[in-house]
Amino acid sequence: MGNNNSSPLQKCLNSAVGGNDNLLAYAKTPFYQIAHVKPYNLDYPITPVAVTYPESAKHVAAIVKCAADNNVKVQPRCGGHSYANYGSAGIGGQDGAIVVDLKNLQQFSMDKTTWQATIGGGTLLADVTKRLHDNGNRAMAHGTCPQVGIGGHATIGGLGPTSRMWGSALDHVEEVEVVLANSSIVRASEQQNPDVFFALKGAGAGFGIVTEFKVRTEAEPGETVLYSYSINAGDTESKAKSFKMWQSVISDPDLSRKFASQFILSPLGLVITGTYFGPQAEFDALNISSRLPDSDDKVLVLKDWLGVVGHWAEDVALKIVGGIPSNFYSKSLAYTKNDLLPDSAVDKLFQYIDNTDKGKAIFVVIWDLEGGATNDVGRSATAYGHRDALFYHQTYAVSLGGKISTTTRDFLTGFNKAVTDALPGHTLGAYAGYVDPALGDGAQTAYWGDNYPRLQQIKAAIDPKDIFHNPQSVRTAAKARS
């Protein structure tokens, strides 16, 4: 790559990857930002000191040692879909950090006795789906964007359409191989290094680099129903009524766990869409359409699992917020069964949406049903902080003409405020996968809730120098506000 490996750090990194210059990139490397840094959110420019491409756990360990010896921060990257260009899905977290890109860690195997799969830490979700399918028609819960990497996804949460049946992606993880801040390579599970395992299942970016996952898998669903209801709601009152009806459906405690649903408001209109993991006769028996407003209904029945997952990738929301780098801003809130919005609050929220200046950005909001199996796991069993979440909202503003304006940011902030003002005394957290720099000092408790104090203790024990750092990662108690 034509790098001048003159500094002590560069010499160390070159040695760490066996002298292979093709596994390293620095600021002077041609096309560094475009080809190597590859920011996902163009609103947050970051320049890492180096981007590395290790080919083994030993390479990763040596890179981490170089970072520690030279007092440089480290963040892994797998997929790179961080909303603010940091976190375990991000590109380094801050200027001057080392990015450890895991794309070369693609190992895969399936134990057809236990149906436990071994998956390399650099594998993208599209490849996870295909490899599980090709090795016994197996599957696991994960999100709908094929370019997201399992390394960040399964260490943050990993929510998706099958989560109500099977839990989150991290709930499938039974063991990991991880590189710690002292550059050791260890296995972690409920039996081995249980504190490390706890932290990695929800707050991974602050604790280590997972080079390999061992996950339980499920038999692929058979016949699957994909539904889409385009709601004819032109005015504010009709939109609000539609949401009230959807909220009533998804808050039914007897709702089948086979039923996944999203309420999406976008420039394309209002759509209620989702999946039912069972035959059409079962879906029809739910009478979902009779419990929602008049709509243009589309129901597609598929028996091909790869076709189902491929259909999700064509989702209306993904077409807008998608996998293409852009200038955008996003916020989220987690609602429990006790945080349902009263009718009057829904009316005010949709009045706010329709009457507030959004700037020139494209605005999308997705309310996403969760609950089910994700709620079965105890709050303190993993670092993931929202075991009682029934649904989330995610707001997005995407700018096609440069940075997101203050007007647009204020609109999204006001959207969240309209919700929290309607629920006084309630604490609504945020999903760590939807990084929100505006949360400031409150980010960690918003992401990890009651689990944060334990995470701080584990951080102090295994990464006291905060080697694995980004602006919103877990801090030791002494550094909580640094």
For residue 111, the tally of other CB atoms under 10 A from its CB is 13
Task: With respect to residue 202, please indicate whether it lies within any of the assigned structural domains.
Answer: yes
pLDDT at 4 over 70: no
Mean pLDDT of 308-320: 74
**Tens-place pLDDT, residues 215-230:** 999 999 999 999 999 9
Residue 187 vs residues 258, 314, 375, 376: alpha-carbon distances, Å: 34, 37, 27, 26
Query: Is pLDDT above 50 for 1?
Result: no
Evaluate if residue 90 carries a pLDDT over 50. no
Could you tell me if 255 and 392 lie in one domain?
Answer: yes
Question: Averaged over 241-246, what is the pLDDT?
Answer: 97
Same-domain check for residues 255 and 150: no
Confidence of residue 82 (pLDDT cuts 50, 70, 90): confident
Question: d(Cα 75, Cα 47) in Å, to the nearest integer?
Answer: 13
Residue 370 lies in a domain: yes
Residues 210 and 244 in one domain: no
Which pLDDT belongs to residue 91?
Answer: 42
Domain shared by 293 and 382, yes or no: yes
Share of the chain above pLDDT 90, in %: 83
- Strands across the sheet with 108-111, in order? 108-111, 116-120, 209-216, 173-179, 185-188
Q: Number of structural domains, the chain? A: 2
74-97 average pLDDT score: 72
- Classify residue 479: in a domain, yes or no: no
Q: H helices within 251-300, ranges in order?
A: 280-286
Range 7-24 burial, b when 16+ CB lie within 10 A, else e:
eebbebbbebbeeeeebb
Q: Is residue 25 part of a domain?
A: no
Q: What is the pLDDT of residue 318?
A: 56
Which CATH number fits the domain that encloses residue 198?
Answer: 3.30.465.10
Q: What is the pLDDT of residue 200?
A: 98
For 167, the domain range is 108-220
Q: pLDDT exceeding 70 applies to what percent of the chain?
A: 94
User: pTM for the whole thing?
Assistant: 0.94
Q: Are residues 112 and 255 in the same domain?
A: no
pLDDT (tens digit per residue) in 344-358: 999 999 999 999 999
Tokens of 230: 């385009």
What tens digit of pLDDT does each residue of 11-29 get? 999 999 999 999 999 999 9
pLDDT attached to residue 185: 98
Query: pLDDT of 36-47, one tens digit each?
Result: 999 888 988 889
Walk across the sheet containing 24-26 and list its strands.
24-26, 50-52, 98-101, 74-77
Note whether 319 and 211 are same-domain residues: no
Question: Tokens representing 116?
Answer: 């436990």
Q: In the beta sheet, which residues pair with residue 435?
A: none
